[in-house]
Chain A
Amino acid sequence: MKRQNVRTLSLIVCTFTYLLVGAAVFDALESDYEMREKEQLEAEEKRLQGKYNISEDDYRKLETIIMEAEPHRAGVQWKFAGSFYFAITVITTIGYGHAAPGTDAGKAFCMFYAVLGIPLTLVMFQSLGERMNTFVKYLLKRIKKCCGMRITEVSMENMVTVGFFSCIGTLCIGAAAFSHYEDWSFFQSYYYCFITLTTIGFGDFVALQKNRALQRKPLYVAFSFMYILVGLTVIGAFLNLVVLRFLTMNSEDERRDAEERASLAGNRAGSLAVHIQDEMLQRGGRRRREAHVQHHALGRLRGAFSNQNSYSSQLSPHQQYFHSVAYRIEEISPSTLKNSYLPSPISSVSPGLHSFTDNHQLMKRRKSV
């Protein structure tokens, strides 16, 4: 089966397994607590009903009133500061839900706002994250030079380590700040920061909801907004470093396959290029052979193209995708291009060069996943 299909299927299987495992663990951890909570609430309910002689209906009404009053108790949610907070939760997809549009018009606008805002925000954070990674890479290189280290190249491990520690640092700073301002425990604040910066945003803990902070404490409000945006950038930079390449894997494999198919449609120049590349790939102790191939290949290049089908047999299967690179022209419009452009020897060789480099890098990735 094609590599991309295998990859996709295994990912699906992994995800489902992960869901099942998560469900089992959460069940084990939370079910008992939930049952106990429910029993306690019911006991309280009976007690109150008995004490104040409240009817069932009235009690339900009271419950509804109390639940609906909660956001209001937290303060005015839809003035400018609150709305800005809400807009942040929409476009970053955090979505606490502490305040959600009540009017239909608000809901409709929310949807259009999200349609444009979410991709914009995604691209913005990835862009900014990439800039940060580049900057950190530069700083790290300078530090290595200053410290007199022999190898001043910044490796992926370095970057991942730095990124990881930045994330932990960001979470800890936020946890300290919010536990101070919101009167939560450090663990609860850390949990809040984590759920916020991974954009899950349960809403069980929400900042700026106590003591009318949205209206009364502009500095704290500004800090919260800045923290969320900066924290998302740091997480975004880490994701950009670690996860983004995996998101494009299938597309790149697909492109490579398409080129393979195009070239396999049969092109004599391709075989020549393949031959060259084939030789090219066999590095290490084959200089003489390379030199021989060089003259051989160049001689052929200078000559007119002749049918090189004999070389095809020399190809090992995994290298066939090399010659595909040279023959995208086939795929594009064989009738117009074939006769006018293919006769040039360069078209097969230079792509060969490039495809070698391109595929070398691609090969590396192929091997690692």
Chain B
Amino acid sequence: MNVSESKGYGHAAPSTDGGKVFCMFYALLGIPLTLVMFQSLGERINTLVKYLLHRLKKCLGFRRTEVSMANMVSIGFISCMSTLCIGAAAFSRYEDWSFFHAYYYCFITLTTIGFGDYVALQKDHALQNNPKYVAFSFIYILTGLTVIGAFLNLVVLRFMTMNAEDERRDAEQRALLSRNGQAGSGSGMAAHFHYIPDPPSSSSAASGLGTACGGGGGGPAGGGGGAGRGLRNVYAEVLHFQSMCSCLWYKSREKLQYSIPMIIPRDLSTSDTYVEQGETFSAQPLTSNGCVCSLRHPSAVSSVSTGLHSLVPAYPGHSKRRCSI
């Protein structure tokens, strides 16, 4: 168990060579499996807590029943602290450690550091003689890791995917720019749009987001002649709106949730990506509507923004990250 959680107390480590070899293969498969399992379970727990909190807010008659990130983080933090305290109380009793030492043990265990200076189930042959305590220890460790995992899923996981998403977005923009340079009106964007059926090697929804965004940047709707591009035929008319919409894609979903009326005037100038592409747009004959960033069609944009905002389902922190880092 300690290997697959990469917690490695070392109180018992394989002595035989066969044990060491099996240990390595066991870890190779077990660690990713366990990582994914804990994150999966943690996400389910977060969803449940969010739902419960939402219901609680409704019951208590709050005006705003939306559960904010701050709520979730506080609850997560308090759960972690309580988990540690419960474990500390239990182990200090069973293992005859002081509360502080037991707390230290729980912390080192649940962060998977696992020094091994304190290890449970090592006194009085507890592993053989005290099955209930053994069961409690195992359940505690797994539950505790789930709680910590849920908290990490809430707070840290988004940062781990940041680079990859920025990279995808950059790739989309590069592709868009190069296609715009080659193809001129309409086809560039549609061609880029047709990128969808030919997915990149990294299969992620973000590329779809980037694609549509890049498609938006291409702008012009004049390309009606794309016989070879089925998608283009369908969306040619509305694609010029896409260019206006694109800037707004970088709006944070959370911000939108609470400040929609304020978004429109601000959003029109926040897209740093389209600042870069401004000259590309102006070079396009059909971008008479212009990029939204140039504030030429505020009313169209206002409706588009909400529509566009809805286009950012999976990456809430997308624009926030760009703007703030």
Interfacial residues, chain A to chain B (CB-CB below 8 A): 4-5, 7-8, 11-12, 14-15, 18-19, 22-23, 25-26, 29-30, 33-34, 37, 89-90, 93-97, 100, 104, 107-108, 110-111, 114, 118-119, 122-123, 126-127, 130-131, 134, 153-156, 159, 187-188, 191, 194-195, 198-204, 239-240, 242-252, 254-256, 259, 276, 279-280, 283, 286-287, 290-291, 293-294, 297-298, 301, 325-329, 332-333, 336-337, 340-351, 353-362, 364-365, 368
Chain B residue, CB-CB nearest to A349: B238
Instruction: With CB as the reference atom, state the residue of chain B lying closest to A258.
Output: B313
Checking B6, B153, B237 against A93 with a beta-carbon cut-off of 8 angstroms, the contacting residue is: B6
Asked whether B160 lies within 8 Å of A279 as measured between CB atoms, the reply is no
Chain A nearest Cβ from B57, distance in angstroms: 16
Other-chain residue from B113, B199, B306 in contact with A347 (beta carbon distance below 8 A): B306
Contact B212 A357 (CB under 8 A): yes
Across chains A and B, the number of contacting residue pairs, with CB separation under 8 Å, is 360
Which A residues are in CB contact (< 8 Å) with B16?
Answer: 29-30, 33
Contact across chains for A131 and B304 when beta carbons are under 8 A apart: no
Task: Tell me whether A326 and B27 are in contact (CB under 8 A).
Answer: no
* Chain B contact residues: helix, strand, loop or mixed: helix
* 28 A–B pairs (Cβ distance < 8 Å), ordered by A: A4-B44, A11-B37, A33-B16, A93-B112, A93-B114, A95-B108, A97-B117, A118-B111, A187-B20, A200-B2, A201-B8, A201-B114, A245-B204, A246-B39, A252-B205, A254-B47, A255-B314, A276-B234, A283-B197, A290-B233, A293-B234, A294-B235, A332-B260, A341-B302, A347-B310, A351-B307, A353-B239, A365-B205
Q: Closest chain A residue to B148 by CB distance?
A: A118
A30 touches B14 (CB 8 A): yes
> A residues within 8 A CB of B7?
95, 200
List of B residues within 8 angstroms of A333 by Cβ? 257, 260
Smallest Cβ-Cβ distance to B253: which chain A residue: A328
Q: B124-160: which residues lie under 8 A (CB-CB) from chain A? A: 152-153, 155-157, 159-160
Q: Does B94 contact A (CB under 8 A)?
A: no
On whether the beta carbons of A22 and B310 are closer than 8 Å, the reply is no
Q: Within 8 Å CB of A134, what residues of B?
A: 167
Q: Would A354 and B209 count as touching, CB distance under 8 A?
A: yes
Complex Cα distance, B234 from A123, in Å, reads 42
Name the CB-closest residue of A to B44: A8
